[in-house]
Amino acid sequence: MALFMLVTLTYVCYAYATTLPGPALRHAFRDRGSEVPSLGVSRVVQESWSMYSPYFPAGSYLPPPAGCQIDQVHILQRHGARFPTSGAGKRIKTAVSKLQSASNLTDPLLFFLKNFTYTLGHDDLVPFGAAQSFQSAEVAFERYSSLLTDGVEPFVRASSSQRVVDSATNWTAGFAAASNNRFKPVLSVILSEAGNDTLDDAMCPSAGSSDAQTDEWLAVFAPPMTARLNAGAPGANLTDTDTYNLLSLCAFETIAAESRSPWCAVYEALGGAPAFTYSGDLDKFYGTGYGQPLGRVQGVGYINELLARLTDTAVRDGTQTNRTLDADPATFPLGRALYADFSHDNELVAIFAALGLFRQKEPLDPARADPARTWRTVRLVPFSGRMVVERLACEGGGGSVRVFVNDALMPLEFCGARGNGVCALDAFVRSQAYARNDGEGDFEKCFE
């Protein structure tokens, strides 16, 4: 019965998703397959939106080194661009209402508010976000379709949030379209966020948040901005938190409308870019990244699933995995050439930290942004951001591994890669001792 319900849900979502992509939704991108959005806002500004930035390649994809061939691929992808969450949307509407209730708008920067209406939805994908997943599948097909044979499709899973499910089914539709329907992958498994789920970060109730660090940074950058807004809207009585929420409208409205929002003039005039960028860096670093003591343990379950697939062996994990699904070849098959999993930004960050990617020499300072930092959220988890793990068969025997995050080749120094980002598969497996040991006691701390 449970399996029947799973198949039915997959069918309904797939039918819905296939109506989303198409020429009308591709116009936001400059070229088919390029994934470079043109939204009427400069790339510099778009990349300053941190976790609300659209996907940009962070590097140039490189073919395997001489003597190596790809024989298996694992894609872990964040959902596409969305509306604000319901909570963020309420806070944004409150801040806008305060400005519009001012007795008189005296700053020309705010005059547009006389005719402004907040119309954004909440939580769901915007059309641009649907197109992102469709287009990312076109890129995946171009790179990896040679691994597939008729009758053996990519295996696709998603966490159960609707925007994640829709991203997965838009990806399957994009892959089918790119193949001229030779391949018709479907979303085979939806992991409930109410249960064990390696594609969501909801299984560590004792984990802290990044509020203390982001609030400290807010107190550094926001007061002059808030003062200017209040001066231009007497009686609005905006708080610094209101200012942050108003800054986010540059991203959310531009992505939803696929054209420059009037809030971007406010964003730029207030100098919002560097402040907003670093707020996102702090949020992810101290949320589920290296700065959160129980952050990276939330990525352990996925890594153990990845190791199982890479080595064609049963999953060994005592953390977030759904043991029933992972023990069933129908819901966790081994030996496939291409896997695609769809998730959230916070979970991807936890996985990156558990793997050992994007290490910082020092923790991020909540009072001062280090321009030399390696931890930049826009390079980790923009909308539709993804990690790709390639298993290679190289001359001389033995498997190898390399990892890309948003097309940037990861150095994998922790498993002995030398320049070309390639390390032996067995060395990669050994390097993941933290995951293989179920978080070395951290998972138990999630429930203390």
pLDDT in tens, 240-255: 999 999 999 999 999 9
Assess whether 122 carries a catalytic annotation: no
Q: Tell me the C-alpha distance between 444 and 113, whole Å.
A: 51
Q: Give me the catalytic one of 27, 79, 122, 344.
A: 79
pTM surpassing 0.85? Answer: yes
In this prediction, residues 153-162 reach a mean pLDDT of 97
Domain positions in the chain are 2-82+125-205+288-445, 86-123+209-282
At residue 396, the pLDDT reads 82
Q: Tell me the C-alpha distance between 65 and 393, whole Å.
A: 11
Q: Tell me the C-alpha distance between 100 and 115, whole Å.
A: 10
At residue 51, the pLDDT reads 98
At residue 166, the pLDDT reads 97
CA 105 to chain centroid: 38
The answer on pLDDT for 378 being more than 70 is yes
CATH of domain 2-82+125-205+288-445: 3.40.50.1240
pLDDT in tens, 283-319: 999 999 999 999 999 999 999 999 999 999 999 999 9
Q: Tell me the C-alpha distance between 48 and 143, whole Å.
A: 29
Q: Tell me the C-alpha distance between 446 and 444, whole Å.
A: 5
